[in-house]
Amino acid sequence: KAGVTQTPRYLIKTRGQQVTLSCSPISGHRSVSWYQQTPGQGLQFLFEYFSETQRNKGNFPGRFSGRQFSNSRSEMNVSTLELGDSALYLCASSPGQGVMNTEAFFGQGTRLTVV
């Protein structure tokens, strides 16, 4: 079974630009979560999608948005990039609703550098 796939692996953008990151979950998984990881703030939850609906959102500005498609693939978008958005963005998939003891499976991450 293929794991969680994130593309691209590395990205360099300029302040003010926008960026779209992609995540393909494990086949059959319907929940996709996104996290931002920085040395200063650690792992911070961005949002979670289940069956194309955002059901939970972390404390990030509206510049951060996401969506999920009918095949469970997810994208996250960051508009008007700031230097502080430089981070490793991690995507995780899990089977979905109501399965509390199920772990999340993580992708390798996308390393975003804003210059």
Partner 1 sequence: AQSVTQLDSHVSVSEGTPVLLRCNYSSSYSPSLFWYVQHPNKGLQLLLKYTSAATLVKGINGFEAEFKKSETSFHLTKPSAHMSDAAEYFCVVSTRFSGGYNKLIFGAGTRLAVHP
- DSSP symbols for 65-112: EEEE-TTS-EEEEE-S--GGG-EEEEEEEE--TT-TTPPPEE---EEE
Task: Choose between 18 and 54: whose C-beta lies nearer to partner 1.
Answer: 54
- Identify residues 23-42 at the interface with partner 1 (CB under 8 A): 31, 33, 35, 42
Query: Could you give the string, one character per residue 52-71, with x where binding to partner 1 holds by CB under 8 A and - elsewhere?
Result: ---xx---------------
Q: Is 85 in the site for partner 1 (CB under 8 A)?
A: no
Q: Are 35 and 90 in contact (CB under 8 A)?
A: yes
CB of 45 to partner 1, least distance (A): 7
Q: Is 74 in the site for partner 1 (CB under 8 A)?
A: no
CB of 50 to partner 1, least distance (A): 7
Q: Are 24 and 73 in contact (CB under 8 A)?
A: yes
Token pair for 113? 């550098």
Does an H or E element contain 83, and which? Answer: none
List residues near partner 1 by CB under 8 A: 4, 6, 31, 33, 35, 42-43, 45, 48, 50, 55-56, 88, 90, 92, 96-109, 111
